[in-house]
Structure 1
Amino acid sequence: MKIPFLIFLLSLSITGCTMVKKNKEVPLILNAKLYHSYTNLNKTLALKRTPLLFSGGREVDNCRTYDKLTLEKNIDESLYNQQIKSEYLVCDALEILSKSTLEYHKIDDNPKFGKELLSRLDLRSFPSSLNRKSRGKFHTLKMLYPNQASSSNNIVELQTKKWNFSLDIVAVTYVNNNSDPDLIVWVSDESKTGNYKGYSTIVVYDVNKPGLLKASIFPSYLH
């Protein structure tokens, strides 16, 4: 009877070690599309996408070539090309996660950071259509649009007659070598009356610290 019991204890020990290791190695991904891409990484990186044009005439059609070229050249600014960029946001997020610390310190299993971005994200710290609207002390969504901007869990939205702006917090990780969590956020910036459409990935730093939150657009944070 003792031997089976010892085997049972040993199996629990092995299972426990595996779970701890998994928790340290798998980042906290809040977006279902990104989670599927992360857990099918090789397939995602090689997946053929709509060709995206960079300055100088070079094109990419998968995450692997996209990740390399974003460090060298800027994306062509034509409207059609900017729309295609939305297909590559997942590539941005996977590249950031690959260079992040995956050992988590103080993150809830179901964090809700939308409210923090609504009231504390400094719109002057990253490029968007709202960047130039920020003035004086009015430089967060809550300050600029107190009645039109809202948050729900990990999504922030601004809906006006002329504009659609959203922040989708897709993952929580550590990118700047401290114990304060950073957020990977997909930005959707669309005119309802014109042709402008912009999509980007930003990193919001140290979300647990008080005060305004700063962000950097991908891939500039890598430099």
Structure 2
Amino acid sequence: MTVAAIRGRQHALGGHQLKKFGLAAAAILCVSLAASPAASHSAHKALTQVSPQNAAVAAALTDMKGALLTPRTALPFDNGGVANNCAQYSHLLFTSAPDESTRSAEIRSEYLVCDAVRMVGTQPFMVTQAALPPNAAKALYERLDLRTLPSSLRNRADGPTHTLKTLLAVGKVTMTQDTVEVETGAQFFSLKIVGVVSRPATKGGGERLQKEWIVWIGDELKDGNYKSYRTLIVRPSRDSRGDRYTGTLYPVQ
């Protein structure tokens, strides 16, 4: 299985068990943009806004209960537990981590959409349709500091050589507005922005929102010794001065 598995597959759990995991879909508040202008303005100020940039994420946020219960390939955890859907996956993450074998890494690519549901589904949110900046993927390629997160490139990242552009300068680059992929003879590395999260400012700032990008990482060595498919939370710079971007793996383990 390759990085294409990130798009995911689909063992159901009863509703009473779902509540045990603290992610019952009934507890999630989604506000429609079709509301009156006044209501929408109020909602924009008070709620986290999520703009999906990926069909699987959009579908999951529209049907949270379905997303939590959709059957997926069994994912073993290091405490002996096994997840078969997003609800079980989220529950197990409180006490353990997915097995670190390359096969488990491949399976985890099916659960990346679960990370998005877990990240935004713990508080009221509204789904919006905001577009990405036209240079979003290019900014990740040129400005994301790979010293700030675990990857196959981290040991090589140092000084001025710490971005995808500088670390894989000889690679073949394929880029769209939301995705950058770099391939060399030995490696494949991709960054795909699948959602934009805008959170109300917690102090000062009035209506100002803090933006985060939900980014899926595909990181493979072609000899088969290393594969990683994870979710990264990137907080983009507020200006275009060339400031570096930093990323945090989600969930943190």
| Residue in structure 1 matching 2:195, options 171, 176, 195 | 171
Partner residue in 1 for 2:212: 182
- Is residue 109 from structure 1 mapped to residue 131 from structure 2 by the alignment? yes
Residue 164 of structure 1 deviates from its aligned partner by 0.9
CA RMSD of aligned residues (A): 2.8
User: Which protein has the bigger helix share?
Assistant: 1
Gaps spanning 5+ residues in structure 2: where? 1-33, 203-208
Residue 109 of structure 1 deviates from its aligned partner by 2.8
Identity of aligned residues (%): 32
SS in 2 for 1:67: helix
SS in 2 for 1:180: strand
Q: Deviation string for 1:15-64 (max 9, x for gaps)?
A: 54566577666511101111112112111101111111111211111111
Partner residue in 2 for 1:191: 221
Residue 151 of structure 1 deviates from its aligned partner by 3.0
Instruction: Output aligned runs, 1:1-223, within 5 Å.
Output: 15-17=36-38, 27-99=50-122, 102=125, 109-112=131-134, 113-148=136-171, 149-174=173-198, 177=201, 179-209=209-239, 210=241, 211-220=243-252
Query: Would you say the 8 A contact 1:100–1:175 is kept in 2?
Result: no
Residue 198 of structure 1 deviates from its aligned partner by 0.9
Query: Would you say the 8 A contact 1:52–1:59 is kept in 2?
Result: yes
Gaps spanning 5+ residues in structure 1: where? 1-12
2-structure distance, mates of 1:154, 1:14: 29
2-structure distance, mates of 1:191, 1:69: 28
Higher RCO by CA contacts (8 Å cutoff, separation 6 or greater): 2
TM-score, normalised with respect to structure 1: 0.81
SS in 1 for 2:248: strand
Q: How many residues align?
A: 207
Larger Rg: 1
Runs of 4+ in 1 over 3 A off after TM superposition: 13-26, 99-104, 174-178
2-structure distance, mates of 1:129, 1:103: 36
